[in-house]
Structure 1
Amino acid sequence: MSATALPIPVLETGRLILRGPEERDFEAFASFGASERARWVGGPYPRFRSWGAFLGAFGHWALRGFGMWMLECRITGTTAGRIGMIAHDGWAEPELGWHIYEGFEGRGLAFEGAQAARDFAGRHQGLDRVISYIDPANTRSARLAERLGARPESDGTLLGQPVTIWRHPSVKAT
């Protein structure tokens, strides 16, 4: 089954294409999942668990009507990460989340992709003023949330780990 079998919208920014997952994305997805970078999202994971999470991305779109897009660099066609809206079982409300793969950090791609995803979700999916769960030690994600205009709202726990809940501003007001 191809990614086009589900109605996953495609978004384009100056440097990125946000699109549904394709099988060609799995190697980058699994490498991220096996890396120390995945510690912020419950990893590192064995390859088999990454495969299940990769397939779960399709299920999230099918069940909820929203999900995480893969980030494709427009010039190279390389998979740079994933960004989008998630609302897993146990989440208090939908979250804007991001994973930037090794070698793509520090270029502003997460900011560019997160702005596009948040804007689309707020304007077209009824997901305005979403949150981001961020581990207090994940200073890079906290800086990104702040750059996106989000503000710390409260402290909480997610999957048994302490988090700061960041509230994003309304995109409908812009």
Structure 2
Amino acid sequence: MKNVSPTYLKHQFLIAMPHMADPNFAHTLTYIVEHTANGAMGLVVNRPQDLNLADILEQLRPEIEPPASCQAVPIYFGGPVQTDRGFVLHPSGPTFQATVDLEGVSLSTSQDVLFAIADGVGPQQSLITLGYAGWDAGQLEEELANNAWLTCPFDADILFNTASELRLNAAAKQLGVNLNLLTSQAGHA
């Protein structure tokens, strides 16, 4: 029997199917940061919270008044795990204390990136989340087999240049899929 290596989805988007029942992931677009035999990690990129960068900075450095521009920088719900931990996706280029390059996009998890954005010297484009989505070994593969998700190639334009409420349909459109035409009922023919 031929040994087939599994296909991992690092640096791809997951599109939640319309029948996704989990309220954490219904109608979401998730960027996969890491996917190995041990599990997967992703960031939901289309669910802004009622928080902005100014709110976060008031907690991190209360002695400095956040610039007014920080009120226009949304904070996204990245997933249900460690919802007090921040993750910043930005184009590759500047690196911070904790930055990982992911093929043209970088992930920074240190506070210095937030301060740099606030001070006008950070990445020109960014997406900030609190929390992440995590899957145990084999869990994401099982969800894919059960048609919970569609996979889509990563597109920085969707991440950084598309309004959050349009990202899910923009990713689906790349696949030639209109999510509005798919039934919200799960099942098999």
Q: TM-score, normalised on structure 1?
A: 0.26
Q: Give the strand-richer structure, 1 or 2.
A: 2
- Structure number with higher relative contact order (C-alpha < 8 Å, ≥ 6 residues apart): 2
Q: TM-score, normalised on structure 2?
A: 0.25
Q: Give the helix-richer structure, 1 or 2.
A: 1
- Point out the structure with max Rg over C-alpha: 2
